[in-house]
Structure 1
């Protein structure tokens, strides 16, 4: 009985916090693809500013929706359609495209690229979204779109060679052949 009361208390406390925390509501709406709640929070009740960035990290809503896991395409497109900056860099130099690639969000990356996201913006460590293609190596459509959008296969990363050189198959390795061959076409 005490455990049930504790759980009930936790759930009640969470609900109380959730009702007061509009950022938490938007984050849950991102994950749950609840566009009606996002519209309500940003436009109807104006509880949040869709163009605002977090004070410390400088994350906009396109950064935040792919921060921990891949956001549904409709959520990424919602933020793009409402003018959230696709090439904004956070305190780490990461763009929304970096986060989409890191979370393996193929559809989100394509939407960002179609909206003008640049594949060559380096983060503070010099990593560009194009060099992250290995996260989703089976999705050559994303690579091709990055290359068509000016992806620089000759970009040098931390004295480790160019993106093209880093994806050059070594010995019997076959996993990067398709990536390397496509990059060669654009080199």
Structure 2
């Protein structure tokens, strides 16, 4: 399916746009910082959600992931298999499991790669944008997995980053909030 519809497999045009624009456009980078605001990797059963109780399940990005499949007439079985992989991979990406995928890190965006996306340092966290696959990061040079070290602290430099819903929704309009 990846060859037929690579955009839908890894998030499509919006993900590609954020891959290229997030590190370069302050307002977008500040908005992306909300998802990286946690300062620790959660235990497996306490996966960080979003500002709302069912944020992850009802997030517009998650809902629009099904549209390309529907337009292509993909069978329910293929769609189910995709979302099972999507859910399991997302669970492991945000759990505190030291799961190393070895050579699969050139295909799958697993926990080892995704942890770098949550590094407190912008030059490290502005990498590994792939949601399930790391293909776009390989194409655009944003895949990051140094062999000589592990990721240090997670989260943002600003330890008083807003945690409330209303304040987080205002953060993209406060330049540099993720760096204070």
Give your verdict on TM over 0.5: no
* TM-score normalised by L of structure 2: 0.27
Q: Which has the higher contact order (CA 8 A, sep 6+)?
A: 2
| Structure of larger gyration radius | 1
